[in-house]
């Protein structure tokens, strides 16, 4: 039988990088063009139950548009989504991460910068997108597994 600390380390090692999260959630990424209307982008976000869309132009990541961007623009600025283009509301030059980066580092960076969604780039190609919820879910799973293993160790 393995020592409980070995089992905890094994669980943490199973999901240590962003690629692991992408493999678990799937690598299909829905994107939007900067020339699309904000209304259509909002409809895609709603239909898919997601919080952000990478903005792609000529195969390159040029921005990201989120529910927050849209809500702020409509609620505070009174923007009409049916006539505005995504390029007008998107956050340009978004921060990104790579598939090999450790979950802990990316989570810390997102928390410090108050970023909820982060495109994952493999070279100059969009490999996926992760949300702060994805990363917190992994950390919570590891913490729960550790608690279970500690309970089992104490009982035995």
CATH number at residue 30: 3.10.580.10
Domains identified in the chain, total number: 1
Looking at the chain, the whole-number percentage of residues with pLDDT higher than 90 is 62
Domain that includes residue 89, residue range = 4-155
The model scores a pTM over 0.75: yes
In this predicted structure, what is the pLDDT of residue 102? 94
In this predicted structure, what is the pLDDT of residue 4? 46
Confidence of residue 27 (pLDDT cuts 50, 70, 90): confident
Condensed to tens digits (0 to 9), the pLDDT of residues 76-91 reads 777 778 889 999 999 9
In this predicted structure, what is the pLDDT of residue 10? 45
Identify each DSSP E strand in the chain by its residue range: 52-57, 60-66, 91-92, 117-122, 125-131
Contact predicate 39/87, CB 8 Å: no
In this predicted structure, what is the pLDDT of residue 75? 77
Residue 45 has pLDDT above 80, yes or no: yes
């Amino acid at each position: 039988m393995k020592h409980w600390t070995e089992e905890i380390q094994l669980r943490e090692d199973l999901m240590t990088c962003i690629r692991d999260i992408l493999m678990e959630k799937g690598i299909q990424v829905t994107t939007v063009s900067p020339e699309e209307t904000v209304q259509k982008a909002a409809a895609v976000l709603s239909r898919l139950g997601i919080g952000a869309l990478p903005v792609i132009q000529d195969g390159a990541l040029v921005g990201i548009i989120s529910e927050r961007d849209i809500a702020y623009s409509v609620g505070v600025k009174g923007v009409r989504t049916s006539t505005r283009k995504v390029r007008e509301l998107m956050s340009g030059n978004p921060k990104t991460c790579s598939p090999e980066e450790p979950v802990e580092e990316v989570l810390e960076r997102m928390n410090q910068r108050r970023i909820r969604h982060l495109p994952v780039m493999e070279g100059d190609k969009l490999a996926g997108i992760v949300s702060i919820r994805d990363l917190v879910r992994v950390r919570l799973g590891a913490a729960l597994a550790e608690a279970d293993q500690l309970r089992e160790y104490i009982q035995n």
